[in-house]
């Protein structure tokens, strides 16, 4: 009799444990979705068609990979559309008149959120920088992530890799518009440009470094040359045996000459992916790589926390990894608005004249933006919306 009682007690305890575990699993899963309209797509700027392309994939896709597929589809659409002339081929010529591409894709899936049967994919990233002759930047970045152990490939070697993996090329990435823009720039003595503290041989270089302490202008020692943010003095030329400053137009960073599409996607399963694509700064020094392919700068995502996308003066912003900062601030408990504002303010304290912006979205799909030096817009679509909505953020 006692044995039967003990068996009954054990069966009852076992049943209760099974029920408790089942309820906990359902409760945890439900808690992740409370108030959330998954999937979610967020992108810098009013790139509505890019967001729609990503939405088409993520709203019908299945499995953890759909967030990555949606990011690639969205950024590819922007490359094909040549959004604002700053994404994809045909825009932003460098000093040689050539267009090159930077791109990044990141899978924010973390091992703790994967089932045992799933493929290990912990914070994987693929990126290309200064890539020539291949028009599909974001697809090349995805190939780096999926078919190599590397994170970033650059220049002609990135080109060779992309073509070997099946992307079309080589192809000329310039356009009649980009060549016309470059020719007008050359007629203006290659101003404005990104050089500083140099002595040009001729109106457009080549350039050689100068010793600022030894430069005399109008009988005084000039030891200050305004850099790319000021744009007043980019170099010097010979005149009456003295080195005189070349006057340049004030350098203006805006969405039409210094821009990026950065996109974040949260799929139906709550998995996060981010991506970036850009053709860089107009009239950049050949070989320049901005923040576009730099993880944590142009974009960053982690399933456990959320995601971020950035745009603006990449040469400044990449020194601060603003998107990594945003995600880590949200990890510590900040809401998206405070995290975005904090990341931008950290840069502004050091560079009061910088121009840039970020958006932040947490794992619940709550989003916000912050900017400095310009008015910023970002685009959003989730399952509670009928179409893409554009959010305006003021400095």
Residue 283 is encoded by which pair of tokens? 């009239």
* 63 among annotated binding-site residues: no
- Identify which of 334, 338, 340, 259 has the alpha carbon closest to the alpha carbon of residue 300: 340
Indicate the Cα dihedral angle 323, 100, 164, 119, nearest 10°. Answer: 10
* 312 among annotated binding-site residues: yes
- Residues facing 42 on adjacent strands: 264, 380
* 313 among annotated binding-site residues: yes
Residue in this structure with the two tokens 């089932």, named with its chain if needed: 115
11 contacts: CB under 8 Å, gap ≥ 6? none
* 291 among annotated binding-site residues: yes
* Per annotation, catalytic residue among 86, 99, 159, 260: 260
- Identify which of 209, 188, 187 has the alpha carbon closest to the alpha carbon of residue 198: 209
* 289 among annotated binding-site residues: yes
Residue in this structure with the two tokens 């010793």, named with its chain if needed: 211
Known active-site residue 260: yes
238 contacts: CB under 8 Å, gap ≥ 6? 244
For the annotated catalytic residues, the residue numbers are 260
Residues annotated within a binding site for substrate: 288-291, 311-314
């Amino acid at each position: 009799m006692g044995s039967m009682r003990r068996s009954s007690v054990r069966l009852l305890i076992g049943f209760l444990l099974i029920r408790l575990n089942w309820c906990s699993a359902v409760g945890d899963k439900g808690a992740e979705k409370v108030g959330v309209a998954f999937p979610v797509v967020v992108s810098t700027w009013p790139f509505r068609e890019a967001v729609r392309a990503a939405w088409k994939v993520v709203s019908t896709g299945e499995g953890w990979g759909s967030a990555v597929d949606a990011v690639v589809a969205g950024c590819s659409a922007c490359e094909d559309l040549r959004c604002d002339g700053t994404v994809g081929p045909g825009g932003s010529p460098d000093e040689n008149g050539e267009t090159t591409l930077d791109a990044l894709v990141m899978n924010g899936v973390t091992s703790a959120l994967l089932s045992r049967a799933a493929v290990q994919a912990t914070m994987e990233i693929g990126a290309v920088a200064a890539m020539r002759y291949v028009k599909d930047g974001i697809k090349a970045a995805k190939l780096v992530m999926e078919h190599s152990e590397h994170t970033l490939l650059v220049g002609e070697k990135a080109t060779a890799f992309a073509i070997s993996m099946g992307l079309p090329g080589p192809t000329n990435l310039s356009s009649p518009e980009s060549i016309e823009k470059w020719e007008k720039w050359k007629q203006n003595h290659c101003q404005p440009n990104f050089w500083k503290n140099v002595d040009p041989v001729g109106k457009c270089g080549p350039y050689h470094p100068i010793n600022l302490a030894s430069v005399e202008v109008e009988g005084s020692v000039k030891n200050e040359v305004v850099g790319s943010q000021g744009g007043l003095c980019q170099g010097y030329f010979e005149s009456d045996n003295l080195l005189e400053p070349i006057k340049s137009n004030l350098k203006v960073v805006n969405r039409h000459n210094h821009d990026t599409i950065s996109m974040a996607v949260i799929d139906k399963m709550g998995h996060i992916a981010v991506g970036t694509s850009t053709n860089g700064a107009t009239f950049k020094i050949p070989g320049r790589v901005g923040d576009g392919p730099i993880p944590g700068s142009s974009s960053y995502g982690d399933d456990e926390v959320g995601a971020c996308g950035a745009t603006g003066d990449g040469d400044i912003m990449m020194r601060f990894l603003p998107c990594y900062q945003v995600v880590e601030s949200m990890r510590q408990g900040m809401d998206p608005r405070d995290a975005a504002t904090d990341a931008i303010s950290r840069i502004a304290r050091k560079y009061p004249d910088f121009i840039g912006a970020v958006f932040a979205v947490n794992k619940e799909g709550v989003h916000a933006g912050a900017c400095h030096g310009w008015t910023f817009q970002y685009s959003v679509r989730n399952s509670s919306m009928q179409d893409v909505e554009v959010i305006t953020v003021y400095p």
